[in-house]
Amino acid sequence: MNTLLIAILSGLGFIIAYHTYGRWLGNRIFNLAAGRACPSERLKDDVDYVPTRRGIVFGHHFTSIAGTGPIVGPAIGVLWGWLPALLWVVFGSIFIGAVHDFGSLLVSLRNNGQTIGDVAGRLLNRRVRLLFMIVLFIGLTIVLAIFGLVIAAVFRMFPAAIFPCLVQIPLAVTIGLWLQRRGASLLLPSLIALLLMLLSIIYGDVGLLGSFNASLAALPNIAWVALLLVYAYVASVLPVWVLLQPRDYINALQLIGSLGLIVIGLCWAALAGGAPVGDEATRPALNIVAPMFHWDPAGAPLMVPFLFITIACGAISGFHCLVSSGTTRKQLASEGDARFVSYGSMLTEGFLAVLVILACTAGLGLGIMGADGTTLVGDAAWAHRYGSWDAMDQGLAPKVGAFVDGSANFIASLGIPAGIAVALMGVFVASFAGTTLDTACRLQRYVVQELASTSGSVFRPLRFLRNPHAAAGLSVLMAAALAAIPASGEWSWTSMGTGGMILWPLFGATNQLLAGLAFLVIACWLWRRRKPIWFLLLPMLFMLVIPMWAMIDQVFTGTGRDASWISDGRWELVAIGAATILLEDWMFIEAALLFPRVRGVLESTAEELDQVKMPAST
């Protein structure tokens, strides 16, 4: 019953937070006004700027910010104990992550739809803008290079997920064209999409489709990376209503439906027990089999600061400010929808992370297959998967596998065949990763276009990159070049495509540092307008200090691990890590010097839109 109680209290906490703290932020701090014109209306081009119904924007935003982060991070973080992971997810998402996402979106909306990097340049200075944009470019290049490998790994683990994920693309295009041309209600397309997706999962690995899935799962990494980056390029230059919006919307329907099924399965397993194991007639009881605290797992880095960069997306992630001020701000039709889309999506993601924690710490105990083919239950199942840090640090498989097996056990307790439950969870993970990939490519296109638009002789030769196709092409080619490098250093068809792993160790701390810098921009925007910033100070300092601590440890000291990057001779990581530390310090110093002088002083080039109203006819 402890497992069920945790799920219920966490869900209630998120609902209460949305209607109290989220409402206070919207009404008292950001002064949301449904009648204020949004960039999607003023700059409408039917390609990137497209006023869109809030349900569709929510689907895009939620699936884009989530990715595999709220699955992989908590699946590792529970090694330090389920309680620290749970507390960080619940309180982090309410008071830090959701505030970060909400603030990033609002600041962008109030600055004519500029990205958080451009806003930083206007609020602080042009040097900060350039530094910020460089950090964004590096981070997104890593994401693009790695997520092709992530999706390939998921497909290899769960071949039954391949056909359902591929069929999403023509289904999304069909629904996008239908909605655009007919302006129809969302109800019928939603029902059709859910039905077709369910059928593709149930029958998508039968007969010839099973052989089709198996052959694609056997493709080398470089083939998958190439195919997925080509898809990302196409998706990033098409009008958002053709593919990006409908695909994310139907993914959101499917994913939220899957979350609902996990919750129902968890409730039933808590009350009646899990599915019978093997030939046993009794149903195993649902209990948390992980330790509450585990301060020093074998081979693991220190809990502080590394828990807070390991569990990122489920609590707070700097990538979210890119989505909020990148694709979402170009689609939001009404400022009144901002709390629902940004604050609501982050809390939904937080609840997903809670379910991941429960799947990995309690769901696993309902039964998993051991190395010798026997079924392990209870403490034995936990020990098999979480014996040490090294056991969970061997690629994507053990991290995703812990969640898939645990959540599939919840669903199987309802009497659903285990094979279908596992396929459903495999599609769940792959769909999240896919939406992050195509959104990241579009975001990188925006960053490249904004850098190419920078004034100055240095950037003049790059003016051709203001073209969407050129910017998207450069984004994909750079990611492909990085991905093609084999992480092992040995060139072969099987090792190529793993290059994103070379820089991936940088992503955790860099991603969280980006969140701290976004908080700095939000605080400066409020400070210039004499708005309260006390509620931002602790989250901002926390997200500047903790990731910096982790980055310094990774580069120089290696506390709690065998060695630092310097000791290991990983000079590419040392160089980029040290540069990131210097960039953050530089931006922080620039802001600290500016803050005392700008209280109540609007930036000279501010495009204040507070008094701009939408036409009465709308």
Q: How far is CA 495 from CA 384, 489, 571, in A?
A: 28, 8, 21
52-68: b or e for each residue (b if 16 or more CB lie within 10 Å)? bbbebbbbbbbbbbbbb
Tens digit of each residue's pLDDT (9 = 90 or more) over 100-112: 999 999 999 998 8
In a domain, 131, yes or no: yes
In a domain, 605, yes or no: no
- Tokens read off for 567: 């000791």
**Host H or E run for residue 228:** helix 221-237
Tens digit of each residue's pLDDT (9 = 90 or more) over 572-611: 888 888 888 888 888 888 888 888 888 888 876 554 544 4
CATH number at residue 181: 1.20.1740.10
* pLDDT tier, 357 (very low <50, low <70, confident <90, very high otherwise): very high
- Tokens read off for 70: 């709220």
Residue with structure tokens 């991941």?
Answer: 356
> Residue 613's pLDDT is what?
41
Average pLDDT, the chain: 86
Other CB atoms within 10 A of residue 488 CB: 12
Which value, to the nearest 10 degrees, does the dihedral of the CA atoms of residues 349, 353, 354, 360 take?
160
Q: Give CA–CA dist 13/356, Å, rounded.
A: 17
Q: Give CA–CA dist 568/4, Å, rounded.
A: 44
Tens digit of each residue's pLDDT (9 = 90 or more) over 26-61: 999 999 988 888 999 988 998 889 999 888 899 999
Tens digit of each residue's pLDDT (9 = 90 or more) over 145-184: 888 888 888 888 889 889 988 998 998 888 888 877 766 6
Q: What pTM was estimated for this model as a whole?
A: 0.92
Q: Give CA–CA dist 308/390, Å, rounded.
A: 19
* pLDDT tier, 530 (very low <50, low <70, confident <90, very high otherwise): very high
In a domain, 611, yes or no: no
In a domain, 607, yes or no: no
In a domain, 613, yes or no: no
> Residue 288's pLDDT is what?
93
Between these two residues, 17 and 500, which has the higher pLDDT value? 17
- Tokens read off for 363: 């769901």
Q: Give CA–CA dist 406/402, Å, rounded.
A: 6
Positive or negative torsion for Cα 214, 220, 221, 225: negative
Phi, psi of 613 (to 5 degrees): -110, 150
In a domain, 237, yes or no: yes
Is residue 189 within 8 A of residue 56, CB to CB? The reply is no
Between these two residues, 103 and 614, which has the higher pLDDT value? 103
The proportion of the chain whose per-residue pLDDT surpasses 70, expressed as a percent, equals 94
Between these two residues, 428 and 470, which has the higher pLDDT value? 470
The number of distinct structural domains making up the chain is 1
Phi, psi of 190 (to 5 degrees): -65, -45
Determine the distance from the C-alpha atom of residue 526 to the mean position of all C-alpha atoms in its chain, rounded to a whole number: 26
Mean pLDDT in residue range 72-82? 92
Q: Give CA–CA dist 464/475, Å, rounded.
A: 14
Mean pLDDT in residue range 478-483? 91
Determine whether 468 is exposed, middle or buried from the number of CB atoms within 10 Å of its CB (0-12, 13-18, 19+): middle
Q: Give CA–CA dist 316/507, Å, rounded.
A: 14
> Residue 262's pLDDT is what?
94
The proportion of the chain whose per-residue pLDDT surpasses 90, expressed as a percent, equals 39
Range of the domain at 131: 2-597
Tens digit of each residue's pLDDT (9 = 90 or more) over 393-433: 666 667 788 888 999 999 999 998 888 888 888 888 888 88
Tens digit of each residue's pLDDT (9 = 90 or more) over 189-227: 778 888 888 888 888 888 888 899 999 988 888 999 999
Rg (CA), the chain: 23
